[in-house]
Amino acid sequence: MLREEIKLHLNGALKSKEKKSISTLRLVLAAIKDRDIAARSKGNNIGISEDEIKLLLQTMIKQRKETSQIYKKAGRTELHESEQEEIKIISNFLPKQMNEDEIAEAIETVIDEIDSKSIKDMGKIMSKLKEKYAGRCDFSLVSKIAREKLT
């Protein structure tokens, strides 16, 4: 489903001649195809699942954010803006990401649910959050906020 949605957007971008969208979506499809090939070599003839595609897209966004920061620090504004544009294009295919306030609220709820009182329960909290909010938040940020709340 997600794979087909990306292909449809690529076709739309080709028709409207949106160069940045075309190159980004081709890059995404190539990455998916690479993962499909790797999965086939492991005996999976179907290819990668929707969840694996979402993880791949999150990884691609994370890489672009890191690269964008490097470009920004180096004063390369045109490259920084280009990376930001790619992030927006790729983000269109993921569920809406939670902001810091929503993450903090979710952490509070989970802490109350499992009656957590110390940093020792961090593993339980993180696993519960990953179960409930997989693909909707940056778990490095979740970890940071959870640590602050538990200390």
Note the pLDDT tens digit of each residue in 71-101.
999 999 999 999 999 999 999 998 888 888 8
CA-closest candidate to residue 52, choices 34, 68, 25, 66: 34
The mean pLDDT value for 44-72 works out to: 91
| Residue 43 Rama label (left phi>0; alpha psi -120 to 50; beta) | left
Second CATH level (architecture) for the domain 100-150: Orthogonal Bundle (1.10)
Q: Where in the chain is the domain with CATH 1.10.10.410?
A: 100-150
Give yes or no for a contact between 106 and 133, defined as CB atoms under 8 angstroms apart.
yes
Fold adopted by 2-91: Hypothetical Protein Yqey; Chain: A; domain1 (1.10.1510)
The mean pLDDT value for 20-38 works out to: 96
Indicate the pLDDT class of residue 151, thresholds 50, 70 and 90. Answer: confident
Q: What is the pTM of this model?
A: 0.75
Give the pLDDT score at 146: 87
